Structure formats: C-alpha cells, structure tokens
C-alpha cells in the first residue's frame, strides 16, 4: 500500500507531470492494446481469412489520410484548442495543386518539365497551407477568441472560397507521374503509409523532445502559468496552427494520390472522426496531455472495426455508430476505473 | 440629458447592441442596393425560413450558458422528426400522439447526453460528438436513408394566423413557424431571466464550483439544459417537416455549425455564463439578412459561405477585443469552464 501512496503522490507532483510528458512508451496503453488484441482475435476467429496479408495491405492504403488529418487535429488539441478547418485546408491545398498541375502539364509535356510542374504545385500548396496556418494562429493568439470559433470561421471562409471558385465540381486529371509515385509501394508498404509513418515519428519527436512540444503541453495545462514562466505563448500558438496546417498540406498530397482528383467536398465526414480518434487515443480534450502513440493505436482500432464490419457485410453507418459507442465505452471505463482499483480512497 | 447618456452607456454595455448596429447598417445597405429587400413580405418570409434554425439556436443557447456545448442536436432533431413521421405515415396515429412522442424522444436523447456528461464525466463536446455519430448513423441505417413523403395533412397544412395583401399584391402571412419561434423565444427568455433555474444555469456556466457551493443541484441543472435542448431540437425537427412537407433523414444534418455560429454571433460565450435571448435572435437575423440580401443582389449562393466565415471571424474578434479593453477577462485562456 505504501508504494501505492508514493506513486500517487509522485503522479500528482512535477515528476509525475514530466513522466507523462516525456513518457511515450508504446506499452503505455494497456486498455487500448487489450481492446485492439481482443478485436483482432474476435474478427480473426469469426471471419475466415481476416488475419491475412491482404487485410494488412488494405489497412495500409486506408489509414494514411485519416491518420495525417488526425495528427493535424491532435497538435492544437494538446494546447487545449481545436482546428475545425483541417478538412477545408486540406481540400483547398489539394485543389490548388491539382489546378496548377493541370494548367502546366499538357499531354505532350516531357518528363522533366512535368517534374518541375509537380514541384511548383507542391510549393504552391505548401505556401497556401503556411499562409492559412499563420493567419489562423495569429487570430487565435492575438485576439484571444476561442479556437473553436476562429477555426469555425476560417473553415467556413476556406470552404466558401473553394466552393465558390470550383462551383463544387471536382478537379480531376492528376498527371500519371504523380499518381504513379503516390501509389508506388516500398517493401510491400504503400508510399502513402510511409508518409504517415514518417510524419507520425516527426510530430511525436517535436511534441516530446523539443522545447516547442513541452511548451504546447504546458499551454494546454495552464496558459497563464506558461506565460508567467517566460514562454512566448503567442508565438507558440502561431506555431501550433502553422504545424497543423502544414500537416494538412501533407494530407493533401496523399489525398491527391489516393483520389486522383481534388474537390471542396472530399473527406468532410472525417472531421469528427479525427476528434474521436484523438480522444480515444488518450488526448485530453482540455489540453495538456496526449501522445501520438495513443492516437495511432486508436486509429488502428477504428480501422480494424471498420474492416471487420465491412467483411461481415455490415453497413458503414453501423461502423460509425459502433465507433461512437466505443468512444463512450472507453470514456466510461476511464471514469469507473478509479472506483474499481481504489475501493478505499486515501484521503 | 443625463438620462439619455445613461441609456447610451447601458446600451454600450449590452453585448448585442453593436450587433443591432451591424444589422441596421447591413439592412440599410441592402435596402438601398436591393429594392425587394425592405418589404414586409420579404422580411416575414425571411423570418419563417429561419424559424427552424432560431428554435435550435435558442436550445443551444441554454446549453452554452450552462458552460457546455452540444453538437448532436441536429441528429436529435432528425431522429425525433423521423420517428414522428413513421408514426404518422405508417401507423396513422393521431397528431397529438406523434408530436408528443417526437418531443419525448428529443428530450430523452438530451437527457441521455446529460447522463453521459454528468455521471459518466465525458466532456460535453466529446459526448455529443459520440452521441451524434451513434444516433445519426443508426437513423440512417434503420431508415435506409429513405424519405417519408406521405405525411398526413394535419402536419403539412399551412396554418396562417394572420395575413394581409398590399397594393402590389404581395402576400404577408404570419404562419405557424413564426409563431412557434416567438413562443419558444419568450419561454426561453422567461426561463433564463425570470426563474431560479435560469439564474442557476448562468451561475453554473460562470463558475461551476461556486454554483455547487451555493447549493445548486448540478445534476438537475445539466438535465434541464440538455433536456431543454433536446426538446427544442425535436420541436425544430417537427417544424422543419411541417415547412417542407416531408421527412428526409439527413435534412437537418450539417446545420450544427451554422446554428452554433448564429448563437455565438449573438454573444453566447463558449466559456459559459454569458449570453442573452435577444442576442441569439439578433445573430439569427444577421445571418438570415446576409443570405437573403445576397440572393436578392444576385450574388451566387456559393459566395454565402465566405460571408458567413468572414462575419464570424470579424464579429467574434471585435466582441472579444472590445470586452477586453473594458474589463480584465475572467478566463484569459477562453477555455470552457466546464465540459
């Protein structure tokens, strides 16, 4: 019992906080891991051929877009904010890049010129994402308006511009060179999946090992205290939304490769799923705590549920309903657990 | 004139007074630019087409004041509407039973939200996102996305309370949706300003711990706030089916953000404890005027979303900046005081 007390005291103190900030051990999510193993076992037993290379391949094709968008959501969530404009930003970047590629590359454009045109398109998309991120960040940091409102406004604005300019129709005809590169596989893994892996590692490193990342977690815990500890919270906030937008740009490049077209309407239903995945993965919706590992674990769980239900032949709507129930269930267990493990609460 | 001075000062302190100013400016501009705008017929028409959103916004306003947020109300409205439509069209049940059942379902869904938020301790935005995906997905699954067109006459018949025809032949009609909206607004206003529950809801949103210590029953308040929103959502759902004459399961889906922006535009704070019924109505009026005015001006409807986005950004920034210059804000991070 004595070590239990010590452990609790330690967790409440600064060491506990730092341990949570600097932790990040993949085994740190026993509940989620158990849930994942249970689900895989259930589906493997009931669906012949579920545990196969083909399922894994399909998983690696399906997860990158949602994964990148979830990363873009998690970075502001850790600071206690939210970025509702991620889908809008991604779509606008994809539209701009598709437009530039279409304008510069004709049927008789040579390989070298095509590569240059694609690079130009990527550069323009990156610049657009950076501008959106800087403006959003500046609005959040310098007006003090709640991020839900700011990003609701930017979402509406960006979506509006995209729909106005395209009249809601998709831009298709992405050059073959681009889609070929985007759909190539390396060691049996799709390019897009590798992009997700690299970005996950990068974001994880930034959030966990840099002063910027620690500042993000501190802002999420208590912005006022962070400001008094000589951290320029406004600059950090601008950086957070810039980072979120840049992740949207990466998501846009993946989206172009997957869909071979761009539209203002794509992936709109993913917005709430990214929040769901983040919270399921242990990101505190009030900010301060959250790990990329947990997010990826949660995404894997959601995707396993989705492909399992799919192979049962169940409707997508049931999958979505079950995702919601999973989230409620996980949160309920988190609430009830303290009462189960500590019947006599020390106090 | 000291009294006029004082009045001006009091007006300036009201958050919605600048909104009224904006509405007047936009109204003046639109009536000068679009001749059809400033006619009674057009204005009443405008009111009717935004009545459903207004009822939703009034319900959401109560939850926002209590310090929470709810995204699931559009799904609740759809579920209540569709169940009532099934009872009316398939089972041929009488009107009061269908309406009663619809309202009951909405209230029950709201109370379920309150249970998740209060007793299971899930943050309100997360709980409502989860509930939204559960209820809306189940509705789409069981309905197969099919609409119900054969609604009974008692539901879809226009009910006109008062009408007049002007010299040009334009018909001005006060119809049921407008009356329902006005009654809902008065009831909400009475509840929030003239009852103990209303005061306690403001207290809860302002400082939950203080509200608990002065003896407010937090659990009951949560049930009141979310149950009320559920009730209003169901009412809005029934009203929407009345207006369009059919029940489409996905018709209300996607209005969440527009309603939320109207409520917030009207001065309801996402941090809780702040907001007024007139303010919320002003928010709805401004959005309605902008959409209608742009239509009359012949601006593409695609453009409307850009205008909404700019309006939200500019108005919220102005509100926060102007309140900040007057007094130090209670909660600088602007985080919700309670989930």
Closest CA to A314 of B303, B200, B141, B322: B141
Contact B317 A146 (CB under 8 A): no
Gap between the Cα atoms of A246 and A258, Å rounded = 19
The answer to whether the beta carbons of residues A241 and A248 sit under 8 Å apart is: no
**In the predicted model, what is the mean pLDDT of chain A?**
83
Q: Tally C-beta pairs within 8 A across A and B.
A: 152
List the structure tokens of A227.
């400001």
Strands (E) in chain A, as ranges, are: 171-172, 185-186, 189-190, 261-262
List, in order, residues 6 or more apart from B297 with CB less than 8 Å away: B30, B33, B34
pLDDT at B13: 63
The answer to whether the beta carbons of residues B61 and B217 sit under 8 Å apart is: no
Torsion of CA B56, B62, B67, B72, to 10 degrees: -30
Closest CB to B137 among A163, A321, A332: A321
Residues in chain B within 8 Å Cβ distance of A325: 130, 134
pLDDT at A122: 94
Residues in chain B within 8 Å Cβ distance of A223: 332-333
Closest CB to B306 among A161, A224, A279: A161
ipTM above 0.85, yes or no: no
Q: What pLDDT, in 10s, does the model give residues B129-151? A: 889 989 999 999 999 889 999 88
Closest CA to A169 of B294, B251, B309, B302: B302
| CATH number assigned to the domain covering A53-337 | 1.10.3470
Strands (E) in A235-304, as ranges, are: 261-262
pLDDT at B337: 36
> Distance from B222 to chain A by nearest Cα, in Å?
18
For testing contact with chain B, the best of A154, A222, A324, A337 (most B CBs within 10 A): A324
Pick the residue from chain B with its C-alpha nearest to A223: B333
Question: Residue B41 CB: number of other CB atoms within 10 A?
Answer: 17
Closest CB to B309 among A143, A148, A154: A154
> Distance from A324 to chain B by nearest Cα, in Å?
4
pLDDT at B298: 81
pLDDT at A30 over 50: yes
pLDDT at A233: 87
Pick the residue from chain B with its C-alpha nearest to A274: B129
Gap between the Cα atoms of A162 and A103, Å rounded = 17
Say which residue, B337 or A102, is predicted with more confidence: A102
Pick the residue from chain A with its C-alpha nearest to B272: A146
Closest CB to A331 among B126, B137, B306: B126
Gap between the Cα atoms of B19 and B263, Å rounded = 12
pLDDT at B308: 79
pLDDT at A289: 80
List the structure tokens of B301.
């409807």
Contact A328 B310 (CB under 8 A): no
Contact B257 A155 (CB under 8 A): yes
Q: Is B33 helix (H, G, I), strand (E, B) or coil?
A: helix
Closest CB to A154 among B120, B131, B313: B313
pLDDT at B338: 35
> Distance from A321 to chain B by nearest Cα, in Å?
4
Mean pLDDT per 10-residue interval, chain B, length 339 residues? 66 70 86 81 85 95 92 94 93 90 96 94 86 92 90 86 75 87 95 93 90 90 96 96 91 82 81 87 88 81 81 77 57 41
Q: What pLDDT, in 10s, does the model give residues A47-71? A: 887 777 777 888 888 899 999 999 9
Q: What pLDDT, in 10s, does the model give residues A117-170? A: 889 999 999 999 999 999 999 999 988 888 888 898 899 899 989 988 988 788
Gap between the Cα atoms of A7 and A16, Å rounded = 9
Return phi, psi of residue B274, to 5°.
-125, 145
Q: What pLDDT, in 10s, does the model give residues A288-301? A: 788 888 899 999 99
Bridge partners of A261? A172
Q: What pLDDT, in 10s, does the model give residues A226-270? A: 888 888 889 999 999 999 999 999 999 999 988 888 888 888 878
pLDDT at A26 over 50: no
Gap between the Cα atoms of A16 and A22, Å rounded = 10
Contact B123 A285 (CB under 8 A): yes
The answer to whether the beta carbons of residues A304 and A40 sit under 8 Å apart is: yes
List the structure tokens of B159.
């009910």
Gap between the Cα atoms of B291 and B253, Å rounded = 19
Closest CB to B324 among A144, A146, A153: A144
* pLDDT tier for residue A13 given thresholds of 50, 70 and 90: low
* Burial of A265 from C-beta contacts in 10 A (0-12 / 13-18 / 19+): middle
Task: Calculate helix-pair angle for B95-118, B124-143, nearest 10 degrees.
Answer: 140
Closest CB to A321 among B138, B260, B334: B138
Residues in chain B within 8 Å Cβ distance of A158: 309
Contact A328 B339 (CB under 8 A): no
pLDDT at B280: 92
pLDDT at A14 over 90: no
Gap between the Cα atoms of A248 and A263, Å rounded = 15
* pLDDT tier for residue A178 given thresholds of 50, 70 and 90: confident
List the structure tokens of B116.
């998740």
Say which residue, A11 or A79, is predicted with more confidence: A79
Q: What pLDDT, in 10s, does the model give residues A75-85? A: 999 998 889 89
Residues in chain B within 8 Å Cβ distance of A150: 313, 316
pLDDT at A5 over 70: no
List the structure tokens of A62.
């399906």
What DSSP element (H or E) covers A7? helix A2-12
- Any alpha helices (H) in chain B, and if so which ranges? 2-13, 17-33, 40-49, 51-65, 73-89, 95-118, 124-143, 153-156, 176-194, 196-206, 208-213, 218-244, 256-265, 277-296, 304-326
Closest CB to B137 among A279, A318, A328: A318
Contact B130 A146 (CB under 8 A): no
Q: Is B223 helix (H, G, I), strand (E, B) or coil?
A: helix
Residues in chain B within 8 Å Cβ distance of A164: 300, 302-303, 305-306
Closest CB to A224 among B320, B333, B339: B333
* Burial of A308 from C-beta contacts in 10 A (0-12 / 13-18 / 19+): buried
- The CA-atom distances, in angstroms, between B268 and each of B114, B164, B226, B263, B278 are 20, 36, 16, 6, 11
pLDDT at B255: 83
Contact B270 A164 (CB under 8 A): no
The answer to whether the beta carbons of residues B80 and B233 sit under 8 Å apart is: yes
For testing contact with chain B, the best of A138, A152, A273, A284 (most B CBs within 10 A): A152
Return phi, psi of residue A226, to 5°.
-65, -40
Contact A327 B324 (CB under 8 A): no
pLDDT at B139: 94
Contact A157 B305 (CB under 8 A): yes
Residues in chain A within 8 Å Cβ distance of B120: 328, 331-332, 335
pLDDT at A24 over 70: no
Domain boundaries, chain A: 53-337
> Distance from A25 to chain B by nearest Cα, in Å?
26
Closest CB to A328 among B122, B311, B336: B122
Residues in chain A within 8 Å Cβ distance of B305: 156-157, 159-160, 163-164
Residues in chain A within 8 Å Cβ distance of B125: 275, 285
Per-residue pLDDT, averaged over A42-50, amounts to 83
What DSSP element (H or E) covers B172? strand B171-175
Pick the residue from chain A with its C-alpha nearest to B132: A324
pLDDT at A15: 55
Pick the residue from chain A with its C-alpha nearest to B72: A272
For testing contact with chain B, the best of A137, A157, A264, A273 (most B CBs within 10 A): A157
Contact A164 B303 (CB under 8 A): yes
Single pTM value for the model:
0.82
What DSSP element (H or E) covers A11? helix A2-12
For testing contact with chain A, the best of B71, B137, B255 (most A CBs within 10 A): B137
Gap between the Cα atoms of B180 and A257, Å rounded = 50
């Amino acid at each position: 019992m004595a070590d239990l007390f010590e452990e609790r005291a330690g967790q409440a103190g600064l060491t506990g906080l730092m341990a949570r900030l600097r932790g990040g051990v993949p085994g740190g999510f026993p509940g989620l891991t158990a849930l994942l193993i249970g689900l895989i076992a259930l589906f493997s037993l009931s669906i012949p051929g579920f545990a196969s290379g083909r399922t894994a391949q399909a998983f690696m094709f399906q997860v990158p877009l949602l994964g990148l968008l979830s990363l873009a959501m998690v970075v502001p969530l850790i600071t206690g904010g939210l970025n509702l404009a991620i889908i809008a930003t991604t779509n606008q970047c994809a539209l701009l890049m598709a437009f530039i590629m279409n304008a510069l590359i004709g049927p008789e454009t040579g390989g070298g010129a095509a590569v240059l045109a694609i690079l130009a398109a990527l550069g323009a998309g990156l610049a657009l994402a950076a501008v959106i991120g800087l403006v959003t960040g500046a609005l959040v940091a310098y007006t003090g308006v709640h991020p839900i409102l700011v990003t609701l406004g930017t979402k509406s604005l960006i979506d509006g511009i995209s729909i106005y300019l395209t009249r809601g129709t998709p831009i298709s005809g992405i050059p073959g060179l681009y889609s070929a590169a985007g759909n190539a596989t390396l060691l049996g893994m799709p390019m897009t999946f590798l992009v997700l892996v690299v970005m996950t590692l990068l974001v994880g490193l930034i959030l966990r090992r840099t002063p910027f990342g620690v500042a993000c977690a501190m802002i999420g815990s208590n912005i006022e205290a962070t400001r008094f500890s000589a951290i320029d919270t406004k600059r950090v906030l601008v950086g957070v939304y810039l980072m979120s937008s840049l992740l949207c740009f990466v998501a846009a490049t993946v989206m172009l490769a997957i869909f071979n077209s761009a539209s203002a309407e794509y992936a709109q239903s993913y917005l709430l799923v990214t929040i769901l995945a983040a919270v399921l993965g242990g990101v505190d919706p009030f900010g301060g705590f959250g790990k990329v590992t947990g997010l990826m674990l949660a995404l894997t769980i959601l995707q396993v549920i989705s492909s399992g239900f799919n192979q049962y032949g169940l409707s997508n709507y049931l999958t979505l309903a079950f995702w919601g129930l999973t989230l409620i269930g996980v949160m309920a267990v988190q609430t009830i657990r303290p009462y189960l493990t500590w019947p006599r609460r020390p106090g | 004139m000291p009294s006029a001075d004082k009045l001006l000062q009091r007006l300036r302190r009201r958050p919605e007074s600048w909104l009224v100013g904006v509405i007047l400016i936009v109204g003046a501009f639109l009536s000068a630019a679009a001749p059809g705008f400033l006619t009674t017929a057009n204005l009443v028409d405008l009111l009717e087409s935004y009545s459903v959103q207004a009822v939703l916004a009034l319900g959401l306003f109560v939850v926002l004041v209590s310090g929470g947020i709810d995204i699931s109300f559009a799904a609740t409205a759809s579920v209540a509407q569709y169940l009532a439509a099934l009872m009316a069209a398939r089972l041929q049940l009488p009107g009061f039973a269908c309406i009663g059942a619809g309202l009951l379902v909405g209230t029950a869904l709201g109370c379920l939200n309150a249970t998740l938020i209060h007793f299971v301790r899930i943050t309100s935005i997360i709980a409502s996102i989860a509930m939204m995906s559960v209820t809306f997905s189940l509705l789409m699954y069981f309905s197969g996305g099919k609409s119900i067109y054969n609604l009974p006459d008692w539901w879809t018949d226009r009910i006109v309370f008062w009408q007049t025809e002007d010299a040009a032949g334009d018909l001005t009609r006060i119809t049921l949706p407008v009356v329902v909206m006005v009654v809902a607004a008065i009831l909400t206003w009475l509840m929030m300003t003239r009852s103990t529950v209303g005061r306690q809801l403001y207290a809860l949103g302002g400082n939950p711990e203080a509200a608990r210590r002065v003896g407010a029953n937090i659990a009951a308040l949560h049930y009141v706030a979310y149950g009320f929103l559920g009730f209003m959502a169901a009412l809005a759902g029934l009203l929407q089916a009345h207006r369009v004459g059919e029940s489409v399961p996905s018709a209300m889906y996607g209005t969440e953000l527009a309603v939320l922006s109207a409520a917030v535009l009207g001065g309801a704070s996402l941090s809780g404890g702040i907001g007024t019924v007139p303010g919320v109505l002003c928010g709805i009026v401004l959005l309605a005027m902008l959409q209608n005015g742009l239509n009359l001006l012949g601006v593409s409807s695609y453009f409307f979303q850009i205008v909404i986005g700019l309006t939200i950004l500019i108005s919220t920034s102005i509100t926060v900046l102007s309140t900040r210059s007057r007094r130090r804000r209670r909660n600088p991070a602007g985080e919700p005081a309670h989930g």
